[in-house]
Structure 1
Amino acid sequence: MLLRRVIEHVETRNRTAVALDYFIRLQRDLRIARELLEGLGSLMTIKVRYMIRTLFYFSAMVFASACSVGAPPEREHADEFMANLAAHCGKAYEGKLVSTDGVDADIAAQKLVMHVRTCQDDTIRIPFHVGDDRSRTWVITRTEHGLRLKHDHRHEDGEEDAITLYGGDGAVIENSTRIEFPVDEDSIELFNREGLSASVTNVWALELTDAMFAYELNRENRHFRVEFDTTIPVSPPPPPWGAE
């Protein structure tokens, strides 16, 4: 799927170049035709004038189409992020908590491992293991306009937690290394229903460079960030709770 998107992107760029080349040649030919027909003066019939005007309108439409067929930058960044992340599929990496909020002291003391476990179609699932706790999985999904991040939380018996599948869609995607996900309306409703009103302003972020993957959560008076060294793979951990 990701390879197909890359191929489609290259083909789109090629179509754009062809359309622009056609537009340039069409404008040149029309300019020559106009100069020749201007010499005819009053000999031009109304029908001929109409045909010339129609050709000029058509050339403008070709140009507008050529300018619009390219994918918007946000989609290109999202595709590149997913392709770069999929390159790690099957690998696991150890990380460390780099934020300093006191509420996260217990997590900081645990072994933290991410596992890019499955990469299927437009979805990548990354279990996040905190010590022996295998309840958390980050789910990154390709959407029509960008990316979506959701959190799949399970109990040890595989049943869904009451607070699960929350997250948001990527906002303005300015580059392919860091994408932020403001909380979406469904998650706000979930948080309010479960008495977690402080979380209704959550903004999550994923960051991927040549040497590091980071997961981040921010809101007022709250900052959580864990970073993983992607240059040193570790042994994959057991499946997350609820995985088939």
Structure 2
Amino acid sequence: MKPRLRIVPAVLLALVFGAHAAAPSPATPADAFLAAIATHCGKAYAGRIVANEPRQEKPDAFEGKPLVMHVRGCEAPAQGLRIPFHVGDDRSRTWVLTRTADGLRLKHDHRHADGSPDAVTLYGGDTIDAGTPLRQVFPVDAESRAMFEREGLGASLQNAWAMEIEPGKRFLYELRRPGGRLFQVEFDLTAPVPLPPAPWGQ
């Protein structure tokens, strides 16, 4: 009887610990956020401006033009995604999301029509807190501030960008800075649109 008593607990322990090891660990908010966007890989969606404050004296580059985001660059979605943002025929902008050790990084890849990088490109920042599976915020980083200063873009030194997603419903891109500047574009994820051409240089 003693050998049997030793075997049964051992088998039970193996089953318990084996099941525990096989259970997936909960995703972090950053992982869940990337995964939510990745469900839309290979699709494009139309957007509309929902906030643009304060009103600018000069004509806004985004007003009155078709706005389309295209979720592509999905080869390793757990590590990052590339999302071109087309403004009319202007295919110069791509949002680059990358997984970091502590969260997420957002960079703006700006190109000319010949594919060469713009003087102001790869700016953005890293998340500084966990965020949520639906919203992540990216305060401007030191590298971007140095570039803005070099290019005479003092108003951008305190930029903070944000992205929100409700899978299958809406995606929001946001630029905010102190003093009341708020720019938001919302994309309708319920109605895919025809895929746009590839962004410049990609």
TM-score (norm 2): 0.82
Aligned 1:73-222 pairs, distance under 5 A: 76-101=28-53, 102-103=55-56, 105-121=60-76, 122-210=79-167, 211-220=169-178, 221-222=180-181
Instruction: Assess if the C-alpha contact under 8 Å between 1:96 and 1:108 holds in 2.
Output: no
Judged with a 3 Å threshold, the aligned counterparts in structure 2 of structure 1 residues 16 and 91 are, in CA distance, closer, same or farther, namely closer
Partner of 2:20: 14
Unaligned runs of 5+ in 1: 1-10, 18-69
Q: Distance in 2 between matches of 1:129 and 1:119?
A: 18
Distance apart, 1:15 and its partner CA = 4.1
Q: Distance in 2 between matches of 1:159 and 1:123?
A: 22
The alignment partner of 2:200 has SS state of coil
Q: Deviations over 1:36-94 (max 9, x none)?
A: xxxxxxxxxxxxxxxxxxxxxxxxxxxxxxxxxx77xxx71011111111110000000
Distance apart, 1:174 and its partner CA = 3.1
Q: Which has the higher contact order (CA 8 A, sep 6+)?
A: 2
Instruction: Assess if the C-alpha contact under 8 Å between 1:77 and 1:174 holds in 2.
Output: yes
Q: Distance in 1 between matches of 2:90 and 2:104?
A: 27
Partner of 1:233: 192
The alignment partner of 1:192 has SS state of helix
Amino acid at match of 1:235: P
Instruction: Assess if the C-alpha contact under 8 Å between 2:30 and 2:131 holds in 1.
Output: no
Partner of 1:63: none
Seq. identity, %: 54
Amino acid at match of 1:109: G
Distance apart, 1:236 and its partner CA = 0.5
Higher Rg of the two aligned structures: 1
Q: Which has the higher strand share?
A: 2
Instruction: Assess if the C-alpha contact under 8 Å between 2:135 and 2:165 holds in 1.
Output: yes
The alignment partner of 1:78 has SS state of helix
Q: Which has the higher helix share?
A: 1
Instruction: Assess if the C-alpha contact under 8 Å between 2:45 and 2:70 holds in 1.
Output: yes
